[in-house]
Structure 1
């Protein structure tokens, strides 16, 4: 659905270009780790996506969940060395932006599905 699209590859490249942001552990914002914040914000974005598209079938929603699992796997691979560190404010801003961009990918693909 999205993980096999060019937009996703560009988004992963965007993350890798900003890996330096995650190299330095700082004082935590709320006690969450980098991966916990990615997971929480991605989940929130997907809840919004599904809420905005009540016409999605059960199968389509399951596909979305599998895609999010694949995205989380990719994030864990890319951020392996720093995923367990406490997230700082700058990282939090980046993660918020990144998960919003993931939502945009899903919005675009769902719009193609329901035409």
Structure 2
């Protein structure tokens, strides 16, 4: 008899990772789909930031192609984000209705 695996939660679980920002440096990141997959047409990906107290700090949209999502956020923008802020990377697929996943989430670490 096989026992079903219980993940301990329902729903999609984002990958929990810190977002590291270095004072004086741009945030540069590229994410590629794995295993030869592609991002469907119309996919959008954004990093949504909130201050430690929950105040919205804005969002950074990626440039999305079928094979990559890339960010190049200037240091003047990054330097304004305080340590211990929170971020969520939201991926939106243009289904009907649109499907939104929290792909990554975590805290901001400053170096």
TM-score by length of 2: 0.31
**Greater relative contact order: 1 or 2 (C-alpha under 8 angstroms, separation 6 or more)?**
1
TM-score by length of 1: 0.30
> Greater strand share, 1 or 2?
2
> Greater helix share, 1 or 2?
1
Larger radius of gyration: 2
